[in-house]
Amino acid sequence: MNTETLELTLPSGLTANVLKKGHGAPVVFLHSHLGRAWDGVLDALAERFTVYAPRHPGSANEAELMQLDAFSDLVLYYDDLFKAFGIEQPALIGHSFGGAVAAEYAATFDAKVHKLVLIDSLGLWIDETPVADINGMADQKIPALLLADASGSAAADLFAMPSDPVAMAKAIVARVSTRAAVSHFIWPIPDRDLRRRLYRIVAPTLVLWGREDRYVPVVYADEFVRGIAGATKQVVDRAGHFPHLEQAATTTRALLEFLGR
């Protein structure tokens, strides 16, 4: 089964680009600041669910951000997207920045989310343990910030670039554009008072975190669990900010068990 690429103009005039694969109940995966990628965990989920992976607006067309000033605009963008693609009551999985978006959506449209998974999610702030400023960091320091093993295969895959010069240039532009789009919503800090709205989330929630995340430390998992009634936490050993890449098997089991309940 191949992954489909779907594009649709939304009522706002913005264009949605979504990867889709599988059959079954809908699962939506919202990606991080490093851009959208289809990995083995999504393939595994697609064996039991219909998996959708939207690209955050502004990632490919910076002009889209002119219509999106705040997280509330982003939440409405995704509500328009779900309606346009006929996605009803999805299980919503958000990683990193995508987790902040997923939590905001679940708090705003509390009856529209079947289940919620937050993977090393942004969206909160603890003065004693601040989220690292990745935008002001030298590129060579970023792998050690995001991954438990900065020299491992997951790091190589995450930061790999095409050998063809033209393709490499396009990949670099896409990555920079995505980081710029994300920064539009979270700069200078990713706290938009989400903590005050977490009580509105009623969907069963799994908070999944890499124990060695040095970007968004694992203490933030406890903050999400405290704020969301009935939320459960699972910490993945030998993983940083990308547990679904560094410990794919463990993450896949956790997701399938939670979503299949």
What's the angle, vertex CA 121, arms to CA 115 and CA 125, rounded to 5? 125
At 219-247, the pLDDT tens digits run 999 999 999 999 999 999 999 999 999 99
* pLDDT higher than 80, residue 168: no
Closest CA to 223 of 124, 144, 156: 124
Number of H helices, E strands in the chain: 9, 8
Q: What is the mean pLDDT of the chain?
A: 93
Q: How far apart are CA 228 and CA 150, in angstroms?
A: 32
* pLDDT higher than 90, residue 139: no
- Give the pairing of strands 50-54 and 15-21: antiparallel
What is the mean pLDDT of the segment spanning 187-209? Answer: 94
Q: How far apart are CA 204 and CA 91, in angstroms?
A: 10
Q: Please say whether the beta carbons of 94 and 121 come within 8 A.
A: yes
Q: What is the pLDDT of residue 190?
A: 86
Enter the pTM of the model: 0.94
Q: Could you count the other beta carbons within 10 Å of the beta carbon of residue 206?
A: 22
Q: What is the pLDDT of residue 182?
A: 81
Percent of the chain with pLDDT over 70: 100
The 3-class SS string of 157-204 reads HHCCCCCCHHHHHHHHHHHHHHHHHHHHHHCCCCCCCHHHHHHHCCCC
pLDDT band at 212 (very low <50, low <70, confident <90, very high): very high
Contacts of 150 (CB under 8 A, 6+ apart): 143, 144
Q: What is the pLDDT of residue 75?
A: 96
How many angstroms separate the Cα of 36 from the Cα of each of 116, 194, 195, 196, 233? 19, 24, 26, 29, 25
Q: How far apart are CA 83 and CA 102, in angstroms?
A: 16
State residue 107 phi and psi, 5-degree precision: -75, -35
What is the mean pLDDT of the segment spanning 61-89? Answer: 92
* pLDDT higher than 90, residue 41: yes
Residue 6 three-state SS: strand
* pLDDT higher than 80, residue 34: yes
Q: What is the pLDDT of residue 155?
A: 84
At 65-74, the pLDDT tens digits run 888 988 899 9
* pLDDT higher than 80, residue 1: no
How remote is the C-alpha of 145 from its chain's centroid? 17
* pLDDT higher than 90, residue 44: yes
Strands ordered across the beta sheet of 50-54: 4-9, 15-21, 50-54, 26-30, 91-95, 115-119, 205-210, 232-236
Span of 44-53, 186-195, 250-259 with lowest mean pLDDT: 186-195
Q: How far apart are CA 241 and CA 261, in angstroms?
A: 25
Residue 75 three-state SS: helix
At 88-102, the pLDDT tens digits run 999 999 999 999 999
Q: What is the pLDDT of residue 158?
A: 84
- Greatest mean pLDDT among 85-99, 122-136, 175-189 lies in 85-99
List the domains of the chain with CATH numbers. 4-260 (3.40.50.1820)
Q: Please say whether the beta carbons of 113 and 203 come within 8 A.
A: yes
